Amino acid sequence: MTTETLEIKADDAAELARVRKAIGRELDRRGISHRWRKSTGEAADETPRAFDFSARVAVAAPRKAARAVRGKLGTILGRAPGPDGWTYTVFIDDQEECWSLAHAELKLISPPPAKPSAGTAGHIRVKVDNKGRGHAAS
């Protein structure tokens, strides 16, 4: 048996419920067992708390493969828990590219910016045509 964890981040509980329901239906259709539980933000008890999405980090990677980005600043775009702790997708500012880096290879510089209060966030709907072009939708 293989087990995998998926982290879903949603702006509100209703959106999260819709996503969870859609994923559940697809898993049921394929005959894949699943269960939902609220995330604690920890991959395991011994694992440090995950950096939040959009947090600013500095790369302190000791491995040779990441030598090109050591000391650079970046932003957390994604994360996934694994057997060795959290792994992050980090957008490196200077190089304008993303790297997959372990928790131990990063140093938190600043937490993510505060979310705008309700009513101040600008949202638009985009309709995508069959050629993949996006257009503002009402």
54, with CB counted inside 10 A (0-12, 13-18, 19+), is middle
Q: What is the pLDDT of residue 63?
A: 81
pLDDT tens, position by position, 30-77 = 777 777 766 655 444 445 678 888 899 999 987 888 888 999 999 999
The C-alpha atoms of residue 74 and residue 54 are separated, in whole angstroms, by: 9
For the chain, the structural domain boundaries read 1-38, 40-110
Reported confidence tier of residue 29, pLDDT bands at 50, 70, 90: confident
Cβ neighbors of 71 (< 8 A, separation 6 or more) are: 58, 59, 60
Q: Model's pTM, two decimal places?
A: 0.50
Does domain 40-110 correspond to CATH entry 2.30.30.50? yes
Contact between residue 92 and residue 76 where contact means Cβ atoms under 8 Å apart: no
The residue written with tokens 């999260």 in the block is 16
